[in-house]
Amino acid sequence: RTEARYHEARLPGVGPRQCNRPVPQCGMPETSDHASVARTEATTLDQSAESHLDSLYRAAAGPVNTGYYLPILSRFETNGRVSPSWNWAACVCTLNWMLFRGMWLAALVYLGAVGAVVAVLATAIALTAPPMVASLRWSLWAALATLVLLIPGFFGNAWLYRVYRQRLDQALASTDRLQDACLLLARLSSTRQRLTAIVSINLAMCVLLAIGVWPSGKPMQMGPRTSGAIENLAQPASAAVAAAPV
């Protein structure tokens, strides 16, 4: 089991057999009381191993929404495999969620996959002869948008688990202390400062987009048109005065 491997690797100076083997006191033969004590000690060690793993995943997830991710990550670790689970943040704000959780490679793969599918669908629609009806085109785009939202929503936690699992392995391979491993994972974890920066960037992009879309040229064009209209109205009047007899 992965928990046992982490526990054995993180107890320097104590081998796995020493952790599970009861030590008789004063050379006396082991009795039923000693066996019950040994079973109690083994159970305590197993609980400690699980708490160590939870501490590692807590450090990897960071302080934001840890209560949601920790049970899911622990379930994946216990089962030894991932399974679909719903994540609203991964569904609605996929790219921002990946950047916030430090899934840099996954974000690039996601952007590349979405861009490739959009390009293929746009090319297919453009080259179709005879041209597709508008309802069919909109249906295809709606289906693509639905998949783009649903796939990260159902499988985002599985992607996140694989990223965190890789970080755990790297942290445990680089240090012999649980506390040091947690510190290494915390440096890569999601922080509130990163969340604030992502929200600020999104707001700035929305403001720039609004400024670019806003029809700012229309008020500037209304002035010359109004003055030109006044001049056109004034020209017939001046011509009539000039043509009048003196």
**N-term to C-term CA, the chain:** 114
- Cα 18 to Cα 99: distance, rounded to the nearest angstrom: 43
- Cα 240 to Cα 118: distance, rounded to the nearest angstrom: 65
Any idea how long the chain is? 246
Output the six-digit token pair for 155: 């499988």
- Cα 160 to Cα 108: distance, rounded to the nearest angstrom: 14
- Cα 56 to Cα 48: distance, rounded to the nearest angstrom: 12
DSSP state for residue 154 in the 8-state scheme: H
| More reliable by pLDDT, 169 or 33 | 169
Q: What's the pTM value of the predicted model, to 2 decimals?
A: 0.67
pLDDT of residue 139: 94
Mean pLDDT of 146-172: 95
Q: Which of 82-86, 91-95, 241-245 has the lowest mean pLDDT?
A: 241-245
Position 41 pLDDT exceeds 90? no
